[in-house]
Amino acid sequence: MAFKREDMGHWRTVTARILLFAELIWSVVLLPGCTWSPSVNVLGAYYPDWLLCIVAAATGTVLFHLVLTRASLSDWLYPPAIAYPAIFALLALAGWLLFF
């Protein structure tokens, strides 16, 4: 059984309806995420979550460096220009995923 040209118009309409329904479902699922502002109240001022993650990651990276230096293990992280930004990114993204 072969499709006739007039049948193809029907399938295009069905496909368009399915795509429209999928867009509607995605908008219903994703729009509630816009209702909550990602900010933290610190002493009456609201700061974005990413700023707190960056500050915590910078502090954690400095503490990690101090621990490695005191234990004479800082040579393990070579080259430091790649290792420390990677540790910083790891801590920042892990903090974002765990706490926010």
Alpha-carbon distance 18 to 25, whole Å?
11
Write down the pTM of the prediction: 0.61
CB 48 within 8 A of CB 39: yes
pLDDT tens, position by position, 21-47 = 888 888 888 777 666 777 888 888 888
Asked if residue 5 has pLDDT above 60, the reply is no
Q: Given pLDDT bands bounded at 50, 70 and 90, which one contains residue 84?
A: very high
Q: What's the chain's length in residues? A: 100
